[in-house]
């Protein structure tokens, strides 16, 4: 494109201003990236939630327990392919701020229910062979330096252990990885049989059930049937899709997320307004020159195009730097310090960011380009 | 008799300023022959620039016609006018109006961006134009690094680089000292005499108009052949 050098030179006419504009756009897109990562973190589970999975919990609340005997009864409901149970252990590793979920499960069934957790075959075998065995997600393993063979002590907050020592100890036999970035790699799973035998109270009770359906289309029907089966029992249930369940769970922390997002969004748009204004100013300063170009034979359309190219270049430079920085920084630095189960910049949001960049170039260039388009040569020259 | 290159016929141009209507040109006629060097004089505000702009297709007459080389300029639409200007008109301005961000060479190449010439051809044409104006040694300099006279020579090189039919100069020496002004006038005269360029030059300076082949005076919307008293 032979006009590119002309545009390029105009861009660097005021180096500092252009650099600051690019920088502010870059900051806006860096913020955007973190915003996307935080949102992805808060909504994990919602997006990955299997369409074909239901959660069955106590009707009153998730912290009320259900009898383990429901497992077989749920399995009998038509449309149910598989069912497993989970329980919130809620223990503490060393000190309370070291938070990661611990959940007692039946290893084989659980791994079958959640294929997104990948565990090497021999580690799985080791887990089946070790009653006190536990597996942990890669993220938590890295964070606390857990290695296979380690004995991990967990202080209980809900489930006391029968016998002399209150502390639970698990032998780490495996480290699982998520099948994709959205999978939660922060949890520790240990064996339900060990848990049930060693806990001092509440034996035979579990937290909730996860049901896989034969057909995702049946989800409402099966949920109704399950709830109906247990109505009028001492433990009434509420069955809902995994997605709905995770969403209602996420709402408890969601308010803070919403505030963070509102602030970041406001900052983002403020920066965009500033950048757009700077662009408009840069063009207004040059109306005389644009008039001269038109006198030389540059058409109105070409004059407009040159201005748009300029704003595009600024936006693409700023957006490129911002999104690129976001992409790398988010991998290296998580400002929440691991409070979110996952922290990454989803590719989808990256693509939206690229589209926003182009849109920004158009938007900030629009009015200046219009000025250039409409500029009447004779009048522009008079003002010189 | 010379072939008529510019034919301005019963030209009226008025501007609105609020409720007031300013009649700048009233039923003005002007013919310029091919190869002529015409000086256009007149008091400030008499409409010299306005007339020049109308000939160059930068503005539309209120009524009347302008033909340049047989082309009815006032009939062309914006896009056609731009293309026509690029091909047929070279403008020289009082304040040179070079792009401050571009070197002399690149400034002169600007109008060539609108042609089909290759990058190399553009470079060569611009170098040739700079040679004509005697600035071969300044090609990589920026406007801010050049004197007014030098900048105006770049301005002239930019105006002639496309080999236009007509050169329109609005007070080309108006911002220069006597010596630099004389050099510019020498150059315009040479372009007229040696290259046969048709030139219409607006000036306040009798010294400058003396270089032209013919002088006309604009006064109260009309052209006079004699300086009005
Ligand atoms: N776009 C416009 N809107 C309103 N009035 C205008 C416009 N252009 C020119 N005029 C008026 O038309 C008249 C002629 O202006 P013009 O610039 O042609 O004069 P000039 O002879 O070139 O003067 P100078 O010698 O000072 O350059 C002036 O009164 C000017 O104010
Ligand atoms: Mg004037």
pLDDT tens per residue across span B17-38: 888 999 999 999 999 999 999 9
Ligand nearest to the CA of B54: 1
Quick one: pLDDT at residue A249?
A: 64
Write out the residue range of the structural domain in which residue B137 sits: 35-60+76-224
Find the residue in A nearest to B82 (Cα): A297
* pLDDT score for A257: 65
Q: What is the CA radius of gyration of chain A?
A: 29
| Average pLDDT of chain B, as a whole number | 94
Quote ipTM for the complex.
0.94
What's the longest Cα–Cα distance across chain A? 96
pLDDT tens-digit series, residues B207-221: 999 999 999 999 999
CA A6/CA A246 separation, integer angstroms: 54
Average pLDDT over residues A120-133: 94
- Give the mean model confidence (pLDDT) for residues B139-159: 96
Identify the band that residue B14 occupies on the pLDDT scale cut at 50, 70 and 90: very high
CA-to-CA separations, B189 to A240, B71, B179, B209, in angstroms, rounded: 92, 26, 15, 11
Q: Does B11 score more than 70 pLDDT?
A: yes
Domain count, chain B: 1
Whole-angstrom distance, CA of residue B140 vs CA of residue B127: 11
DSSP of A245-265, one letter per residue?
A: HHHHHHHHHHHHHHHHHHHHH
The angle at the Cα of B225, spanning B224 to B229, to the nearest 5 degrees, equals: 65
Distance from CA of A13 to the nearest CA of B (A): 7
Question: In which band, very low, low, confident or very high, does the pLDDT at A264 lie, cut at 50, 70 and 90?
Answer: confident
- Of the candidates B50, B82, B93, the beta carbon closest to that of A294 is on B82
- A250: distance to nearest CA of chain B, Å? 55
Instruction: Report the candidate in A70, A32, A85, A50 with the shortest Cα–Cα distance to residue A260.
Output: A32
Count how many pairs of residues, chain A against chain B, have C-beta atoms within 8 Å. 73
Q: Residue range B1-21: average pLDDT?
A: 90
Mean pLDDT of B36-60: 95
Burial status of residue B51 (CB atoms within 10 A of its CB: 0-12, 13-18, 19 or more): buried
A138: Cα within 13 Å, side-chain hemisphere: 13
Domain-embedded: residue B17:
no
State yes or no: pLDDT of A136 exceeds 90: yes
Q: What are phi and psi of A125, to 5 degrees?
A: -60, -45
Burial A194-228 (b: 16+ CB within 10 A, else e): bbbebbeeeeebbbbbbbbbeeeebbeebbebbbe
What DSSP line would sit under A121-155, residue for residue? HHHHHHHHH-TTEEEEEHHHHHHHT--TT-EEEEB
The answer to whether residue B70 sits within a structural domain is no
Between A242 and A329, name the one with better pLDDT: A329
Q: Residue B6 falls within a domain, yes or no?
A: no
Dihedral class, residue B179 (left if φ above 0, else alpha if ψ from -120 to 50, else beta)? alpha
Question: Mean pLDDT of all residues in chain A?
Answer: 87
Q: How far is Cα A191 from Cα A196, in angstroms, rounded to an integer?
A: 9
In this model, does residue A271 exceed pLDDT 80? no
pLDDT at position B126: 97
pLDDT of amino acid A250: 64
A254 confidence band (pLDDT: 50, 70, 90): low
3-state helix, strand, coil in chain B (%, to 5): 40, 30, 35
Residue B118 has phi, psi (to 5 degrees) of -75, 165
- pLDDT of A282: 84
**Residue B65 alpha carbon to ligand 1 centre in Å:** 20
B residues 49..88 contacting A (CB < 8 A): 49-50, 53, 56, 58-59, 78-79, 82-87
Q: Who's near A212: CB < 8 A, 6+ residues apart?
A: A50, A52, A53, A80, A81, A82, A83, A113
The confidence score (pLDDT) of residue A46 equals: 52
- The answer to whether residue B24 sits within a structural domain is no
- DSSP structure string for A33-79: HHHHHHHHHHTTTTTT--TTEEEEEESS-TTS-EETTHHHHHHHSTT
In a domain, B100, yes or no: yes
pLDDT at B98 (0 to 100): 96
What mean pLDDT do residues B183-189 have? Answer: 95
The half-sphere exposure of A125 on its side-chain side, counting CA atoms within 13 A, is 3
pLDDT average, residue stretch A134-149: 93
Residue B17: the pLDDT is 87
Distance B161 CA to ligand 1 centre (A): 29
Give the pLDDT score at B1.
54
Testing ligand 1's pocket by substitution, the residue of B16, B21, B22, B52 carrying the most ligand atoms inside 8 A of its CB is B22
Q: In this structure, is residue B2 part of a structural domain?
A: no
Mean pLDDT across the stretch A169-194?
91
Q: What's the average model confidence in pLDDT over B106-123?
A: 96
Q: Which of A206-220, B189-203, B204-218 is least confident?
A: A206-220
Q: Give residues 24 to 53 of B whose Cβ lies within 8 Å of A.
A: 49-50, 53
Give the burial class of B118: count Cβ atoms within 10 A of its Cβ; 0-12 exposed, 13-18 middle, 19 or more buried. Answer: exposed
Q: Using 50, 70 and 90 to split pLDDT, how confident is the model at A286?
A: confident
For range A279-308, the mean pLDDT: 91
Is residue B166 a part of any domain in this protein? yes
**According to the model, what pLDDT value does residue A215 have?**
84
**CATH value at residue B195:** 3.40.50.300
Q: Mention every residue, 6+ apart, whose C-beta is less than 8 A from residue B40.
A: B48, B51, B52, B200, B201, B202, B203, B215, B216, B218
Comparing A120 with A52, the larger pLDDT belongs to A120
* pLDDT value, residue B225: 83
Q: What is the residue with the minimal CA distance to atom 28 of ligand 1?
A: B45
């Amino acid at each position: 494109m032979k006009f590119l050098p002309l545009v390029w030179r105009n861009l660097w006419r005021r180096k500092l201003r252009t650099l600051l504009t690019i920088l502010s756009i870059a900051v806006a897109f860096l913020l955007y990236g973190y915003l996307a990562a935080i949102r992805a973190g808060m909504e994990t589970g919602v997006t990955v939630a299997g369409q074909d999975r239901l959660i069955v919990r106590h009707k009153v609340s998730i912290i009320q327990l259900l009898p383990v005997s429901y497992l077989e009864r749920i399995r009998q409901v038509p449309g149910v392919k598989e069912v497993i149970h989970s329980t919130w252990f809620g223990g503490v590793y060393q000190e309370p701020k070291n938070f990661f979920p611990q959940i007692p499960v039946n290893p084989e069934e659980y791994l079958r229910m959640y294929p997104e957790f990948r565990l090497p075959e021999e580690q799985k075998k080791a887990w089946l062979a070790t009653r006190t065995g536990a597996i942990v997600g890669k993220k938590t393993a890295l964070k606390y330096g857990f290695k296979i063979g380690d004995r991990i002590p967990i202080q209980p907050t809900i489930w006391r252990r029968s016998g002399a020592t209150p502390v639970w100890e698990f032998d780490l036999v495996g480290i699982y990885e998520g099948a994709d970035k959205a999978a939660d790699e922060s949890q520790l799973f240990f064996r339900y049989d060990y848990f049930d035998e060693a806990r001092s109270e509440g034996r035979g009770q579990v937290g909730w059930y996860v049901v896989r359906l034969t057909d995702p289309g049946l989800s409402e029907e099966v949920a109704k049937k399950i709830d109906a089966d247990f109505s009028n029992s001492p433990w009434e249930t509420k069955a809902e899709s995994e997605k709905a369940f995770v969403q209602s769970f996420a709402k408890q922390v969601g308010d803070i997320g919403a505030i963070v997002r509102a602030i970041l969004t406001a900052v983002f748009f403020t920066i965009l307004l500033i950048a757009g204004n700077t662009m408009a100013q840069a063009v207004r300063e040059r109306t005389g020159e644009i008039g001269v170009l038109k006198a030389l034979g540059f058409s109105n359309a070409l004059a407009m195009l040159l201005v748009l190219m300029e704003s595009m270049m600024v936006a693409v430079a700023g957006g490129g730097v911002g999104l690129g920085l976001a992409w790398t920084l988010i991998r290296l630095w998580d400002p929440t310090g691991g409070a979110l189960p996952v922290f990454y910049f989803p590719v989808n949001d990256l693509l939206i960011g690229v589209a926003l960049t182009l849109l920004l170039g158009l938007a900030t260039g629009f009015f200046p380009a219009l000025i250039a388009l409409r500029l009447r040569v004779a009048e522009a020259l008079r003002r010189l | 008799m010379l072939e008529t290159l510019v034919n301005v016929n019963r030209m009226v141009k008025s501007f609105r300023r609020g409720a007031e209507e300013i009649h700048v040109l009233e039923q003005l006629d002007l013919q310029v022959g091919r190869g002529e060097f015409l000086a256009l004089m007149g008091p400030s505000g008499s409409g010299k620039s306005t007339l020049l702009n109308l000939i160059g297709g930068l503005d539309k007459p209120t009524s009347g016609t302008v033909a340049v080389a047989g082309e009815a300029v006032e009939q062309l639409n914006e896009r056609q006018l731009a293309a026509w200007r690029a091909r047929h008109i070279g403008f020289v301005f009082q304040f040179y109006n070079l792009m401050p961000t571009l070197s002399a060479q690149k400034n002169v190449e600007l109008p060539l961006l609108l042609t089909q010439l290759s990058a190399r051809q553009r470079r060569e044409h611009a170098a040739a134009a700079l040679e004509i104006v005697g600035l071969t040694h300044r090609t990589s300099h920026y406007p801010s690094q050049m004197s007014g006279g030098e900048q105006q020579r770049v301005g002239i090189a930019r105006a002639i680089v496309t080999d236009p039919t007509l050169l329109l100069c609005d007070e080309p020496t108006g911002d220069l000292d006597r010596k630099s002004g004389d050099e510019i006038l020498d150059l315009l005269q040479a372009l007229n005499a040696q290259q046969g360029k048709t030139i219409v030059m607006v000036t306040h300076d009798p010294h400058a108009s003396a270089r032209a082949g013919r002088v006309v005076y604009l006064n109260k919307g009309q052209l006079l052949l004699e300086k009005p008293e």
